[in-house]
Structure 1
């Protein structure tokens, strides 16, 4: 179920939990629609450019048949860095939790999807340079349950805090294609060009 993206805290981050009900399920990662993500964060030329790279990254995954799963989004893009650090975000950090086609071996995944997902250091660097996406991946149906818990815990632990150790929240979106989000971003890009 999708929720609304919460406002940034006074510290310029998404809240890690609902301050009014800290034990509720309304907490990070916030499950939001891709359209809401575009609407909420497409507020400047730089942010729109990063969103465009992110949606192009997703298109590459979709063209390869990778549509099952979800993505966690974090980094300076999810923070109000314009206010707290007096700069624009440089990229968006993405962990894609992907269900690969059944019957595919690890070698086939590396052979067919490495450049699209960013499985190697070189492909990750290229994706970051071309699309402004710092890409990571967790294979949902290729990892053991123990490994899946360990990887999820790792990423949650890394992303639930800023480098200064302040708690913060992050976003989750479905990996399924969302044409309305692309159309809305194209509209925002057109508005930016006319300014």
Structure 2
């Protein structure tokens, strides 16, 4: 809390290698969770963006540069930090449970 208040949201860019079999098995809600930024922000207070690692190298570089430039500094030109988190499928169920708990907390805050 550098600004003396909690943040309004969290900014997340996920670089992911999504195998074709998984991509084809996604249900409509799964796709919504991965691509509907407005829905994600409303439900989880997260600005979330997905970058697939399967894009061509030039596009991957452009997107990486773009996201770095978007969030590397505050409007005051003060540096901001980044956190890299490796995702492990072995923790998917626990993560899903924690997200459900957090979503319920956010809904309770709004009521």
Q: 2:88 aligned to 176, 179, 183, which one?
A: 176
- Asked if 1:140 corresponds to 2:53, the answer is yes
Runs of 4+ in 1 over 4 A off after TM superposition: 108-113
Q: Which runs of 5+ in 1 are unaligned?
A: 1-79, 190-195
Q: 1:131 aligned to 37, 40, 44, which one?
A: 44
- CA distance in structure 1 between the partners assigned to 2:47 and 2:32 by the alignment: 13
Give the total of aligned pairs.
Answer: 94
Q: Find the counterpart in structure 1 of residue 65 from structure 2.
A: 153
**Residues 150-195 of structure 1 deviation map (CA, whole Å, 9 limit, x = unaligned):** 101111121211121112221010122437x86xx7xxx9xxxxxx
State the TM-score, normalizing by the size of structure 1: 0.41
1:148/1:154 CA distance change after superposition, 3 Å: same
Per-residue deviation, 1:89 = 1.2
**Paired residues for 1:84-99 under 5 Å:** 84=3, 86-99=4-17
Per-residue deviation, 1:134 = 1.1
| Bigger relative CO (Cα 8 Å, ≥ 6 apart) | 1
Contact 2:37–2:47 (CA<8 Å) still a contact in 1? yes
Name the structure where helix makes up a greater proportion of residues. 2
State the TM-score, normalizing by the size of structure 2: 0.67
